[in-house]
Structure 1
Amino acid sequence: MDRRNFLRTAGGLALGSLAWASLGCDRPEASSTAGGSRRLERIGLQLYTVRTLMEQDVPRTLEQVAQLGYREVEFAGYYNYTPQELRQMLDQLELSAPATHVPFQMLEENLSALLEAAHTLGHRYVIVPWLPPEQRQTIDDYRRWAERFNRWGEACKAANVQFAYHNHDFEFARIGDQVPYDVLLAETDPELVKMELDLYWITYAGFDPLVYFQQHPGRFPLCHVKDMTADRQMVDVGQGTIDFVKIFAQAAGVQLQHYFVEHDQPADPLASIRRSYEYLSQLTF
């Protein structure tokens, strides 16, 4: 349950001479039922979903994303464009980019450049999406990560940016009698370290996102909206079994603000994000 391939795309973070390989992850997705009268105001997209298109033509891909109705995007690499160039594209398309995924090495080695890019692009959240397997074998390993998260969170806060962490399923695989994700929550400062909850991965691991919302209000300002079949395969949002109505109805009261559609391995990226958007745009809760 704690095995997943972390995929690397061919993109790059262009910050002067600084090159950066963009990051992603592989997972499954969800479904829902009719709800109340509320709707999602701004539906976002994790651009890793359309990475094969981004690698070919970033401006055209962003244009297609906006044409489908998405209003927010979350970056996972800048594909050798400068932050200034990307910001111009976003502004022309009336898109915002409140968040980005970055490799943890970036925070250690090029923090000032990363924060400068974040300010240019309007990122309010800088998110680490993955921990290497060799550095998460023990609970003490996770405690060390918590220390680093706090340190990075303090540095980001000083620059008016929020640090956050994105989960997979491996954080929920018990080590002894402890759940590593609970250790990360307990040993990080809630003001310095927020969490982006991947609704597919936490469900895949057999845990309930609503329990975490209840126990840690305010810790989850962002989520990945991904759907999963009964046999735990990833599918377009609305094609699986995750009850988004129930999740979103409660999330509205715990400060969840950003909802990013994601599919790690879509057969047809544009068709996938279109189906997910159409489902979410009609969803009431």
Structure 2
Amino acid sequence: MKLSLQLFSARNFTPYTDVIARLGDYGYDAAEGFLGNFAEGDETRAALDAAGLTMPTLHVPLQMLEEDAEGVAKLAAKLGTTAVYAPWIAPEQRGKTSAEWEALADRLAACHAAMAEFGIPLGWHNHDFEMVTLADGGVPMDILLTRAPMIDWEMDVAWVVRGGADPIAWINKYGDRITAAHFKDIAPAGEKTDEDGWADPGTGTVDWPAILTALREKTRCAVLVAEHDNPSDLDRFAKQAIAHYRSL
């Protein structure tokens, strides 16, 4: 399992090329890209090569996947990416019924088919809202994975917890769909409010020893992606994440 870091965590600590260089120094295997890196594809690839890193996974907006699959494939080739994940949907676009989430699943299935033409698997990256039961009894994450059985899942473990769900139960149910996971943590209630309640891996409340064991034993997870949505100190977070991973 490769250890990566989602460069979204570094959006307040740019340039990304410098961040990538430091990740190489810290011992990371990879970095995960997102929209903020797309305009600097050549520079990003050069920085990855210089640091001895790869970029096996990439977050790509759903609209871009729908409108320009070929462009996504070209970007993936440039960065050496072998799997892409649609990472989010805006609040105003989130369905309130199971039927609306089924429609989103159908869109993802179509995107999967388009990316398959270029040999690139497509998955979904969750937040908390996909774990919350709808008024009609459906659970969005269940709907996406059952309605679109061909898509993969990049499981953001801490967002699963924030959504009120049990990561181990979801791993047991959908382990064969999980090809990557986000390695993040949640601070105890009332702490780290300046960092939106997130914590560096190993310093919060998420049971990472048990969860990582489950990921290793019951999923196809090939990349573990360290992430902190709002770190006040990127290097502190990056160093703590790799130290905790190595301790596990």
Global fold match (TM > 0.5): yes
Match of 1:223 in 2: 181
Cα-to-partner distance string for 1:57-92 (whole Å, 9 max, x where unaligned): 232221011111111110013546443332222112
Whole-Å separation in 1 of the counterparts to 2:40 and 2:228:
26
- When normalised by structure 2's length, the TM-score is 0.91
Q: Which runs of no fewer than 5 residues in structure 2 stay unpaired?
A: 191-196
Query: Over the residues paired in the alignment, what is the CA RMSD in angstroms?
Result: 1.6
For residues 110-148 of structure 1, what are the alpha-carbon distances to aligned partners after superposition, in whole Å with 9 as ceiling and x for unaligned?
A: 221111110121111111111122222322221111001
Report what 2:140 is aligned to. 180
CA distance in 1, matches of 2:225, 2:93: 27
What is the alpha-carbon distance in structure 2 between the residues aligned to residue 200 and residue 217 of structure 1? 16
- Structure with the larger helix share: 2
Contact (CA 8 Å) 2:157, 2:184: kept in 1 or not?
yes
Select which of 65, 76, 94 maps to 2:52: 94
**Secondary structure of 1:100's match?**
strand
TM-aligned CA distance change 1:235 to 1:82, over 3 Å: closer
The secondary structure found in structure 1 opposite 2:205 is coil
Match 1:152 to one of 83, 98, 111: 111
SS in 1 for 2:152: strand
Tell whether the 8 Å contact from 2:17 to 2:43 is kept in structure 1 after alignment. no
Matched AA of 2:143? V
Aligned letter for 1:141? Answer: E
* AA matched with 1:258: V
Match of 2:72 in 1: 114
Contact 1:135 1:141 in 2 (8 A): no
Aligned residue for 2:176, secondary structure, equals: coil
Q: Which amino acid aligns with 2:121?
A: Q
1:199-258 CA-partner distances (Å, limit 9, x unpaired): 101011121111122112320010111111342831111111111111111211221111
Amino acid corresponding to residue 235 of structure 1 in structure 2:
A
Matched, 1:272 2:237: yes
In structure 1, the residue corresponding to 2:114 is in which secondary structure? Answer: helix
Give the stretch that moved more between structures: 154-163 or 75-84. 75-84
Distance in 2 (CA, whole Å) between partners of 1:205 and 1:231 is: 15
Q: Give the distance between the partners of 2:156 and 2:122, measured in 1 at CA.
A: 16
Which gives a bigger RCO, structure 1 or 2 (Cα 8 Å, sep 6+)? 1
Distance 1:209 1:270 in 2: 27
Amino acid of the structure 1 residue aligned with 2:205: T
Aligned residue type for 2:229: D
Q: Does the C-alpha gap of structure 1 residues 255 and 133 become closer, same or farther in structure 2, counting only changes over 3 Å?
A: same
Q: Which aligned pairs between 1:1-285 and structure 2 lie closer than 5 A? A: 41-54=1-14, 57-79=15-37, 81-136=39-94, 137-176=96-135, 177-189=137-149, 192-231=150-189, 233-253=197-217, 254-283=219-248
| In structure 1, C-alpha distance between the alignment counterparts of 2:21 and 2:111, rounded to whole Å | 33
Identity %: 28
Distance 2:23 2:39 in 1: 18
Q: TM-score, normalised to structure 1's length?
A: 0.80
Extract unaligned runs of 5+ from structure 1: 1-40
